[in-house]
Amino acid sequence: MKNLVVFTGAGMSAESGINTFRDAGGLWEQYPVEQVATPEGYAANPELVINFYNERRKQLLTVQPNDGHRGVAEWEKDFRVTVITQNVDNLHERAGSHHVIHLHGELTKVCSSRNPNDPRYIKELKPEEYEVHLGDKAGDGTQLRPFIVWFGESVPRMDEAVAAVEQADILVVIGTSLNVYPAAGLLYYARPETKIFLIDPKPNLAGGMPHVHVIAKGASEGVKELTETLKELR
Ligand code: APR
């Protein structure tokens, strides 16, 4: 089986009803990013940040995977698929994808405030525990913090993602503005012979990527269209 790597951003989940970050009405228009998505913001007002992610978690309970997520999961029938996502939702998993690398963390998990990446203190929350409070403690006695990679923090799973892209026969990028590094740099690790597709209604491709096949459509429609093309590439 060929290796198919799918690299997704907020646009992947837009049709499920989760706002993107940088489109009009996006999350970063409603909440100052430096307050809710940086270590400095968390240090200044942990309660605000904890509540912000409580809200995101609650929203997760009200949304469903869309046809795009489901189509990506179906590709596992014909390819060895690795999903690399910048999204912190769990919609790829819920649609049936088995190998998902979350570059920017996971909403359903919490961790230590001192050592966010220490596996001993990373905990998956059950839906009934989705509301975290100031004073709730991780295993090391520090405040339970959202397991989210904030701006200015390192991206611990980047090496794993790079290794997957280097092995990709086909790379499909879906619904990301490719603004945020290091994630956006993943495309450059593809080998020259790797076939690259981009599904996005407003594709934002910087120069230097001449061999990208652009499908300027939303995730569901674009995945459906690409599924036909992929049948020829198995
Ligand atoms: N289908 C596919 N793509 C869509 C759709 C849709 N229905 N609707 C919008 N898009 C596209 C937009 O055109 C845009 O290119 O999704 C992209 C969303 O871009 P951003 O909001 O910048 O989201 P993303 O690229 O995932 O952001 C990266 O930034 O704030 C951080 O950590 C956060 O992981 C996030 C990172």
Q: What is the pLDDT of residue 206?
A: 65
Q: Encode 139-185 in three state secondary structure.
A: CCCCEEEEEECCCCCCCCCHHHHHHHHHCCCEEEEECCCCCCCCHHH
On average, the pLDDT of the chain sits at 96
Q: Which residues contact 119 (CB under 8 A, 6 or more apart)?
A: none
Q: How many CA atoms lie within 13 A of 142 on its CB side?
A: 16
User: Which of 6, 91, 177 best tests ligand 1's pocket when mutated (most atoms within 8 Å of CB)?
Assistant: 177
pTM over 0.95? The answer is yes
What strand order describes the sheet that includes 123-124? 123-124, 105-112, 144-148
Q: Is 229 in the pocket of ligand 1 (CB under 6 A)?
A: no
Q: How far is the CA of 28 from the centre of ligand 1 (A)?
A: 11
What is the set of active-site residues?
A: 104
Q: Do the domains 1-18+66-104+156-234 and 19-62+107-148 sit in the same CATH topology, yes or no?
A: no
Q: Which residue lies with its CA nearest to atom 10 of ligand 1?
A: 11
Ligand 1 centroid distance, CA of 139 (Å): 34
| Residue extents of the structural domains in the chain | 1-18+66-104+156-234, 19-62+107-148
To the question of domain 19-62+107-148 being in CATH 1.20.58.110, the answer is: no
1-18+66-104+156-234, CATH topology level: Rossmann fold (3.40.50)
Give the mean pLDDT of 33-41: 96
pLDDT score for 29: 86
The pLDDT tens digits of the residues spanning 121-139 come to: 999 999 999 999 999 999 9
Strand duo 80-85 + 123-124: pairing:
unpaired
Strand partners, 85: 8, 102
Q: For 168-221, what is each residue's pLDDT tens digit?
A: 999 999 999 999 999 999 999 999 999 999 999 999 986 667 789 999 999 999
User: Tokens at residue 162, please?
Assistant: 């790079």
Buried b (16+ CB within 10 A) or exposed e, 113-149: beebeeeebbbebeeeebebeeeeebeeeebbbbbbb
With beta carbons less than 8 A apart as the criterion, state whether 118 and 90 touch.
Answer: no
What gap in Å lies between CA 97 and CA 137, rounded to an integer? 32
What value does the mean pLDDT take over residues 220-230? Answer: 98
